[in-house]
C-alpha cells in the first residue's frame, strides 16, 4: 500500500514512535521519514544530537529519543512535513501533538477542529492549544492539538474550516 499511496501501514508508523514510557516523560520527536532520500535538514537543525543520518545522506534518520528535548526545531525545518512532536506528560487522558501545518487559515488557540488520520479521515475533534507562526519563509507553522490518548498513533493532521 505504501508504494502506491504513500500512506504508511500501522506497523510502519508504530516503528517510528518511541515507547509510551518515553512519551509520558515529555515532548519527543516522531520522525515519519520512510524512504531513502537525499535529505538532512532535520539532522543539521538538531542541537541535541538526537537525529542521526550518518555519512550517507540517503539514510533514513534515526532518533535517539533520550536526547530529544521536544524543541520542535527539526519539525519546522523538514521539507517533507514528516515530523511531529508528541507529549503524554500533561494528562492521563489526553496527549499533546505538535504538527506542521502549511494551510490557510491557521487555526486559533481555543478552536475545536477536525482531527484527521494518515488517510485524511475525520477520526475525532481536537482542541487547538498552541499556534506558532514564525514570520520567516523558511519555517513551517506549528499547531499544537490536544487529543484523546487513544488517537495518539492515528492522528496526523487537522482540517480547519474557513469561516
- Which residues contact ligand SF4 (rule: CB under 6 A)? 29, 31, 33, 39-42, 45-46, 48, 50-51, 61, 68-74, 78, 80, 82-83, 85
Q: In Å, how far are 9, 34, 35, 149 from 2, measured between CA atoms? A: 7, 9, 10, 25
How many helices and strands in the chain, by DSSP H and E? 5, 9
Name the residue nearer to ligand SF4 (CB basis): 24 or 40: 40
Name the residue nearer to ligand SF4 (CB basis): 85 or 126: 85
Q: Provide, rounded to whole angstroms, the least separation between the CB of residue 137 and ligand SF4.
A: 17
Q: In Å, how far are 12, 15, 82, 98, 144 from 128, measured between CA atoms? A: 27, 27, 20, 10, 6
Query: What sign for the dihedral angle of Cα 57, 18, 69, 129?
Result: positive
C-alpha to C-alpha distance for 125 and 134, rounded to whole angstroms: 25
Q: Provide, rounded to whole angstroms, the least separation between the CB of residue 156 and ligand SF4.
A: 14
Cell numbers representing residue 158 in the block: 487537522
Name the residue nearer to ligand SF4 (CB basis): 87 or 111: 87
Instruction: Specify the DSSP class assigned to residue 53.
Output: -
Q: Provide, rounded to whole angstroms, the least separation between the CB of residue 89 and ligand SF4.
A: 14
Q: Provide, rounded to whole angstroms, the least separation between the CB of residue 38 and ligand SF4.
A: 9
Name the residue nearer to ligand SF4 (CB basis): 44 or 112: 44
Q: In Å, how far are 95, 102, 109, 121 from 133, measured between CA atoms? A: 21, 10, 12, 25
Name the residue nearer to ligand SF4 (CB basis): 20 or 73: 73
Amino acid at each position: 500500500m505504501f508504494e502506491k499511496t504513500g500512506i504508511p501501514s500501522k506497523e510502519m508508523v508504530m516503528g517510528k514512535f518511541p515507547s509510551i514510557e518515553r512519551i509520558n516523560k515529555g515532548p519527543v520527536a516522531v520522525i515519519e521519514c520512510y524512504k531513502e532520500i537525499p535529505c538532512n535538514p532535520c539532522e543539521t537543525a538538531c542541537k541535541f544530537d538526537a537525529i542521526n543520518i550518518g555519512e550517507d545522506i540517503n539514510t533514513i534518520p534515526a532518533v535517539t529519543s533520550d536526547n530529544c528535548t521536544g524543541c520542535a526545531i527539526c519539525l519546522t525545518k523538514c521539507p517533507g512535513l514528516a515530523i511531529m512532536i508528541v507529549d503524554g506528560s500533561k494528562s492521563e487522558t489526553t496527549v499533546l501533538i505538535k504538527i506542521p501545518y502549511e494551510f490557510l487559515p491557521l487555526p486559533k488557540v481555543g478552536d475545536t477542529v477536525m482531527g484527521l488520520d494518515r488517510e485524511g479521515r475525520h477520526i475525532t475533534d481536537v482542541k487547538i492549544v498552541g499556534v506558532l507562526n514564525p514570520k520567516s519563509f523558511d519555517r513551517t507553522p506549528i499547531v499544537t492539538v490536544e487529543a484523546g490518548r487513544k488517537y495518539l498513533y492515528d492522528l496526523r493532521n487537522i482540517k480547519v474550516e474557513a469561516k
